[in-house]
Structures are given as C-alpha cells and as structure tokens.
Structure 1
Amino acid sequence: MEVGTDRPPLTVQVVSDGRAGIENQALGLAEAVQRLFPSRIEIKRVRWRKAFDRLPSALKAGWMLDPSSDPVFPSGGEAWPDLWIATGRATLPLSAMVRRRSGGRTFVVQTQDPRWKMDSYDLVVAPAHDGVVGPNVLSITGSPHRVTVEKLAEGAVAFEDRLGPLPRPRVAVLIGGRSAAFDLPEAHAAALADQIAAAVAAVGGSLMLTFSRRTPEAAKQAMTARLASLPGMIWDGTGPNPYFAFLHFADHVLVTEDSANMAAEAASTGAPVHVLPMVPLKSADKFARLHADLRARGAARPFDGRLEGWSYAPLNETERAARAVLDALSAIRA
C-alpha cells in the first residue's frame, strides 16, 4: 500500500491482555504501520473469566470473556477493522474468530509464536530465535516494539534536566529477573554490580539503571547499594518511567540475557549493547540464538567488564514487519 492513494485510513485494532510488555508488541507494530500508511489505531484489552482462562484456546467462546474486557466484535452495524494485530495467549481464540467471522474483511496478524492453529492467522510475526516456520510466518530479530528515534526523544524531554548533564559515557543498565530459564540471586546481582561499577568508574561515566517487575527484591537492594555512589539515576519504580529516556541518552546499554525484548529494543538505538550473564535454570537455546543473531549484526557482545565502543546499523525490524503487513494487504486487495 502506498501513501497518496485515495483510500481512507486503515482501521487498526491492537489487542492484548493489557500487560505493557505484551501490548507494546502489537502496538509497536501498529504504530509502524501508521508511520507508513495513514491509520486509526484502537487499543483493545481483553481477559477471560477466571473459570475459563485456563481452557485450551480451541474450547473458548466469546461469551467466556470477562465483562471488563473491551468489545472486540462489531455491533450495531459497525464495520470490521481493516487490520487486527494481537499478541499473547489470551488473544489466540479471538484472532481465529475474527478471521472467520469477518469473512476476510479483517487481515489478522498475530505476533509471537502462537503454538496453536498456525493457519488461523493471515500473518504471524514471530521472533527468529523461536524457530517458527510456515507459509504465513515472517521471522524477525526479536519482537515488534515501540522504540524509535522519535519516541525516545519524546520520552527524554521530561528527564532532560536530570540526564542531559550527566558525564559521558552514559551507561543504561536494564536488569531483568527470575524467569523459567534464568535467575538473579543476590550474590550474582552483587557481583554484576561490582563489575558494572568498576567499568563505569574506569571511563569516568555515569549510570542510568532500571529494574523489571521480575527483579528479585534482594537483587535490587544489592545492586542499588553498590551502584548508588556513581553519578546518574537509579529508578526505584515510582514516578514517570525513564526507560525511553535512558535509551535516548545512552552511549552504552547493558542488558541482562533473560529479556529478548530489552535486547532487541536496545539494538534499535545504535548504541553498543553489552549482554550481562545470569544464572541459568535450564537450557536457554532460544536466547543463545537471539544473542548470536545480535552479535552477527554487530549490535551486541557479551559484557567483559569493559565499556568498549563500536558502531553498527541500528535494527529496524518492526518497520520491516509493518511493510510486510502492508504488502500482504495490498496483494489481497489489488
């Protein structure tokens, strides 16, 4: 699809369970579509009644949705959306229903690996490290996200006075936490903090540190205690989130190996990405594949205790996925 035609704007529904990390994948892809073609985006958040939440997707029906969910099916003569972009397990049966009930009027995109009825979606935008294949699958490095130069600049405005004057190099440190594959016990967190403190001090830089919701409290306390003396900012989770501002101002980004999303977002900035090791709980082959991909692209390297700089072409995978969506829509409606 090309801007300049007389087609009206695309109507786009972004659907998830509302968790920020999940929603931002679908919203990031929708915003990338909007940057390429005029679009009206509507965000929908859904949840299933507790009694039905754990049912297999094949057994779920629309009436099982919790009343707090946003309406996702047209009513009262409303038109079906042109584009449905959904993320997460909660949306899978709804995506299948929309594709079937709309009779092809809605182009259905599912991000992540659905692991269910791959032929129920017009396009699946899946992380390459998940190894998903199929005629309707587009593999990208990482997942779609909202990080762009413009978004980061917008997010930086509120923190300009605090972060702009910090001594360079400014080092953003993005800490994850316990997951199925990794853990961050207190002793390991303390050792990482000591390495980070030494590296930042060696170059006369500053620190911008944020934790995730999964970071164990003991790990937070250990890292904060060891890094608080450095110039910079440690976000304690209160007030406006400085995540975009940290990425905007960062000369280096350090990110724990447990988060594919944070690594891919960091690699879209052009700043060197240093991957911090965690304690493995089980085989983490898919994360190893992602990090190998990022290394091959020149974006990331394992953290070796030094803040060595390098350059690479920032990743722009979300826009690549958006172009694939628009190309597929154009082919269908030609």
Structure 2
Amino acid sequence: MRRIKLTVAYDGTAYKGWQLQPNGVTIEEMLNKALSDLLKEPVCVIGASRTDSGVHARGNVAVFDTESRIPGDKFCYAVNRGLPEDIRVVESEEVPTDWHPRKQNCVKTYEYQILNCKIEIPTRRLYAHFCYYPLNVEKMNEAAKYLIGEHDFISFCAANHQAEETVRTIYEAQVTKNEEDIVTIRLCGSGFLYNMVRIIAGTLLKVGTGEWEPEHVKEVLEARNRKEAGQTAPAKGLTLVGIEYEREIPKDITSRNEHWDAVLDQSKLESDGISCVRIRFSEPEELPRLIRRMVHQAYRNGAKEVFVTVPDGYEVSETESYGYYRLRRLDDGSYGTEYTGRTL
C-alpha cells in the first residue's frame, strides 16, 4: 500500500465545503469519485483543512492510500481528467504511509479579500466581500499586529466550535490594498479555529470603518468572549493560500506571551526519544492548559518519554488529567508523564 499526497486548488462557490455532507456536493466527494474511477478501487481522501461552504483554496492538502503503481508525481495529471474545471490537483507526490496532513507541524496561510470601492464589480463578486465604505487600511494593519504571537483566540472562534484547545500562534498578520481596490488580509499561523479568519476579517472591518480603534483588537483577545469580536465575514472572500509543512523538528520550541512562558526542549529527541517541558512562568489558571499543550506537542513530535519541570511554588496535580496524560512526581522534583489510554 502506498500513500499519495495531493495539493488541491478549487473554486469553492458551487460546493458545500471540503468535508462530505448529506445535503450537497463537496470537494472531498469529487476527489473521492475521480480517484476511485481512475484507480478502479475505493478511495477516501484525508484533507488537511476542512474549508467551509464557499471558501476557496490554492493549496489545500490531502492524502489517500492506493495499490496503484502510477508514479507519485503523475497522479495530478491523471486525476485532473476526471475532475470538474473548478477543482484541480496542482501537485502530487508519494509520502510515507504514516504521514497524516493534520498531524504534522505546519504553517497555514489564508487571505481574505475585500473589494473596497463605490460600486461592486461583477467579476469580483464570488471571490471578495464588497464594502463600499472607505476603509482605513493603515489602521486595519495596525490592529492586525495585535494578533501576532501566541494567544487564546477563543474570541475569534465560532460559538459552536468543538476545539479542545483554542490557543494558536499567528506568525504574520498584514493588511494591504492594491490598485484594483482589493484589500487583502493575510494571516499565517500554526493553525486556525472554526471561522477564525472570517471573524478576524469582520473585526478588522470595524477598525477600517472607524467604528473601533486598533487597540480594541487587543481588548477583544483579552476578553476571551466571542460576543466582543466583529461579525463573521462572508465565506466567499476567504482563500486557503497554502500549507507549509515542517521539514525538521527544532531543538526547542518556545511558548510565550504575557500569561505564560515555557520551552519544549527536544535536544535529546532524536538520540534518546526524550523531550522536556520546562515551565518558566504561568498564571495559575493557565498552568494546566499550558502543560497539556506542551506535553501533547512533545508526543506528537515523536517523543517516547516526556518530563515536565515547574518553578518552586507552582502547584501541579498528580490526579488531574492533562489532556491524554497524568503527571507523576519523580525523586529529582520533576514530573514524568503517563498516558491515560485515550487515542491521540
């Protein structure tokens, strides 16, 4: 059995999103059908980003398993013959059989486009949200900078989300306007919550129209309340630009903001399979979530054993579960981790 990775571009206008749905045609459904017809075997793709209805993509990623001997880099040409013109596989390659597009460290890039002029342009209506009110792009860009870094983005997440963890890291947040009156909000991050980019876009629109000052975005973050953010902007303006996967696991990963500071030491991961989570500072209410995130990241990166150290005076429970793990105090004062039996 082989595993093939696909990079997929699509116009999401006519589809009910990526994931299979009982009430409409989806991108996943069309890929499954085209691949199954091509290979004469049942195929079910696994997607990296399950985009919503009407959202577009230039670089979503999916994998599937097959017995076919078609060279990995030739699948894109073969499968495109069976796909509608608004879906294209732009690249294909063979990957290890255990490679999973949602279980790899990566950076995702999204762009949200707003047509900002007096009269809507018909050719832009499917790919940009229209706003006739003049937007102050400079202030929107200033506001976007408050999003950069590691934060709890629950204020920018749909109320009906199912995420166990709402902390994400934004590496780049930029707002620009071109000569064709297109305002582009570009966000690069470790991952995004349900409707997160669209809610950020709706929030920045309020800044652009002058309803809110740029500093209000920081207040929205700190509130940790969906009601404090702007409206969810329409899906049609959103495009998943691409997903860049980490090629090498770094020796250490820092998790830091004004509420916590920790480092995941992976210097012995390759040689001994050991990683160490060192908590340097944490507000008491943030400590359990911080430990859970860091320990989970360590095991996800391939650690066989994970140890946790905390400063003197910090209270750590040995009976409480930290996600999939419990801690046990060792003779040297650090903590080992024990798997509770849940599936990662």
TM over 0.5: no
Larger radius of gyration: 2
**Taking structure 1 as the reference length, what is the TM-score of the superposition?**
0.27
**Taking structure 2 as the reference length, what is the TM-score of the superposition?**
0.27
Which has more strand, going by share of residues? 2
